[in-house]
Each structure stands twice: as structure tokens, then as C-alpha cells.
């Protein structure tokens, strides 16, 4: 699995569910560490953003951005934590600017 194949990562029932471009979902082993620690290698990639305590998204796969959620490739909706919104918005806007401007 390549990082670019990942749409999002979701923490659920002590495991991480990777939603992939192919439509598949891969489920990790049971994790004992915090979700953010488990995802830290992925979060080192500038395309990834933790927008909620239980979600990491691939910003390359964002189709729509609102105050409370991202709509990703395949109509997958991921919530944005209200407290994190200013940081998530700024990070996403910086990503878009670096990518070559807003669409």
C-alpha cells in the first residue's frame, strides 16, 4: 500500500481502518498506543492532516471542505473537530496554496 492510495484513516474499536482509493478498507491489528502516535509516520507526509481525534485525511483526496467536515473521494465524509477547526482550516489552506492556489 502506498501513502497516495490512502483516502483516510479512522480509529474505531482499538484498530485503524484505512480507506483506500480502490474502495477497499484495510483494518490494522489492535493498537495499544494513541491513534495520533500510530499515525505519526503518515502525518510526517505533508499531504496528511489529522482533522479529528479519530480521523486522518489525505488532503489530495478532498473534494469539499466545510466548517464541520471534509468530503473525500468516493463521497466519504469525515468530521472536523470544532476545537481544531482554525488549525485544520489554516493547514488545509496552506496546503492548497503550496499546491498552486485555490481551485
> What is the predicted pLDDT for the residue at 99?
80
Closest CA to 70 of 7, 6, 1, 4: 7
Q: Inform me whether the pLDDT recorded for 52 exceeds 60.
A: yes
Averaged pLDDT for residues 3-11: 96
Q: Is the dihedral of CA 86, 89, 94, 95 positive or negative?
A: positive
> What is the predicted pLDDT for the residue at 102?
55
Averaged pLDDT for residues 32-52: 96
Are β-strands 48-52 and 25-27 bridged in parallel, bridged antiparallel, or unpaired? unpaired
Write down all domains in the chain, each with its CATH number in brackets.
Answer: 3-99 (2.40.50.1020)
Closest CA to 97 of 74, 8, 89, 31: 89
Q: Inform me whether the pLDDT recorded for 101 exceeds 70.
A: no
Distance from C-alpha of 15 to C-alpha of 91, rounded to nearest angstrom: 26
Task: Summarize pLDDT for 59-70 with one digit per residue, the tens.
Answer: 999 999 999 999
pTM of the full predicted structure?
A: 0.92
Amino acid at each position: 500500500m502506498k501513502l497516495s492510495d490512502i483516502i483516510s484513516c479512522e480509529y474505531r474499536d482499538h484498530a485503524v481502518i484505512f480507506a483506500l482509493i480502490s474502495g477497499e478498507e484495510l483494518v490494522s491489528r489492535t493498537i495499544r498506543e494513541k491513534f495520533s502516535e500510530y499515525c505519526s509516520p503518515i502525518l510526517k507526509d505533508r499531504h496528511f492532516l489529522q482533522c479529528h481525534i479519530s480521523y486522518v485525511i489525505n488532503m489530495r483526496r478532498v473534494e469539499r471542505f466545510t466548517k464541520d467536515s471534509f468530503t473525500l473521494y468516493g463521497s466519504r465524509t469525515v468530521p472536523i473537530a470544532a476545537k481544531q477547526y482554525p488549525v485544520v482550516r489554516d493547514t488545509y489552506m496552506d496546503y492548497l496554496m503550496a499546491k498552486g492556489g485555490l481551485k
